[in-house]
């Protein structure tokens, strides 16, 4: 079985090599990547990794259009790499198998496999570390069900504790489309859709302030370009805070001191993961 990962990236210099090396160790055979105009050296790192791994890289400078682009990459993966299954991924997401590697929990007969996704929180100590996000052990397992309106406008909330959508692995044969965010897909073989809890997506949305601010600046440009842009309520919140000069204050609320972490663990909102991403990467 050939397992291919698709990635849509922009300015991911601090994480893209970790992502590719980790997933290759987890059974991914090849990578089909679209870069939407990185200016930070991301493309150079991918070019270097092409000497080690099967990687296709396409540069696309058009206006961001995630769903159609990821559908295109899925079909390109079938054409270039003879993919049986495709993981639609983001650079800040790491797909972890409960046992063995990812292929142990997948079958070529699958059409769509939906897997759960969990935010990982950084402690204040994590944030000050050179390896930063990858040291985190704090996994949000029982998220708080904030409404969309609260996520956009309510000041007193911890947004990384909110519920996040799952992700999908798709079979390119019969694939109709991958929907924006890579959370859902449509397939001709709809009866082959299943859920799998033996694979988890570990999401590290906040890595450092510079990365966070640049992401929100790009989101603002998208919102300014058209009134029809679809975007999560949390991004609209962060764009508004950026425009108000309050984004750094919001960022500071996204790392937690030890007392807060202990309280969240006692409530069952957060649990300690058995191993950090940093430890996993050290074994590769």
- We report the CATH number of the domain holding residue 83 as 3.90.550.10
pLDDT tens digits for range 177-236: 998 788 999 999 988 899 999 999 999 988 888 888 988 998 898 888 877 777 878 888
**Residue 34 belongs to a domain:** yes
Query: Token digits for 172?
Result: 């390119």
Rounded to whole angstroms, the Cα distance separating 8 from 12 reads 10
**Residue 229 belongs to a domain:** no
**Residue 173 belongs to a domain:** yes
Query: Buried (b) or exposed (e) across 221-236, using 16+ Cβ within 10 A?
Result: ebeeeeeebeebbbbb
**Residue 46 belongs to a domain:** yes
**Residue 111 belongs to a domain:** yes
State the chain's mean pLDDT as an integer. Answer: 91
Rounded to whole angstroms, the Cα distance separating 235 from 240 reads 9
Question: Is residue 275's pLDDT more than 70?
Answer: yes
**Residue 220 belongs to a domain:** no
Could you give the number of structural domains in the chain? 1
**Residue 140 belongs to a domain:** no
Q: Domain residues for 90?
A: 1-116+166-205
**Residue 175 belongs to a domain:** yes
Could you tell me the pTM of the whole model?
0.92
Most confident of 144-153, 231-240, 268-277: 268-277
pLDDT attached to residue 243: 94
Look at residues 68, 50, 29, 87 and name the one whose alpha carbon lies nearest to residue 230.
68
């Amino acid at each position: 079985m050939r397992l291919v990962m698709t990635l849509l990236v922009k300015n991911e210099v601090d994480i893209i090599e970790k992502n590719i090396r980790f997933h290759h160790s987890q059974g991914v055979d090849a990578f089909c990547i679209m870069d939407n105009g990185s200016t930070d050296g991301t493309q150079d790192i991918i070019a270097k990794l092409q000497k080690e791994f099967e990687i296709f890289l396409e540069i696309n400078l058009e206006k961001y259009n995630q769903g159609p682009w990821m559908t295109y990459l899925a079909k390109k993966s079938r054409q270039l790499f003879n993919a049986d299954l495709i993981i639609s991924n983001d650079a800040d997401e790491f797909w972890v198998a409960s046992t063995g590697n990812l292929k142990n929990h997948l079958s070529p007969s699958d059409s769509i496999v939906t897997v759960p996704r969990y935010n990982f929180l950084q402690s204040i100590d994590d944030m000050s570390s050179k390896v930063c996000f990858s040291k985190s052990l704090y996994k949000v397992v029982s998220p708080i069900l904030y409404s969309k309106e609260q996520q956009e406008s309510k000041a007193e909330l911890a947004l990384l504790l909110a519920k996040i959508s799952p992700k999908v692995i798709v079979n390119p044969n019969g694939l109709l489309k991958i929907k924006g965010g890579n959370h859902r897909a449509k397939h001709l073989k709809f009866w082959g859709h299943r859920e799998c809890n033996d694979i988890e997506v570990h999401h590290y949305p906040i890595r450092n302030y510079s990365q966070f601010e640049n992401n929100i600046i790009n989101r603002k440009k998208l919102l300014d370009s058209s009134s029809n842009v679809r975007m999560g309520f949390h991004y609209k919140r962060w764009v508004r805070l950026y425009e108000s000069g309050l984004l750094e204050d919001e960022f500071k609320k996204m790392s937690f001191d030890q007392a807060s972490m202990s309280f969240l663990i006692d409530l069952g909102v957060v649990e300690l993961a058995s191993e950090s991403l940093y430890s996993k990467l050290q074994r590769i």
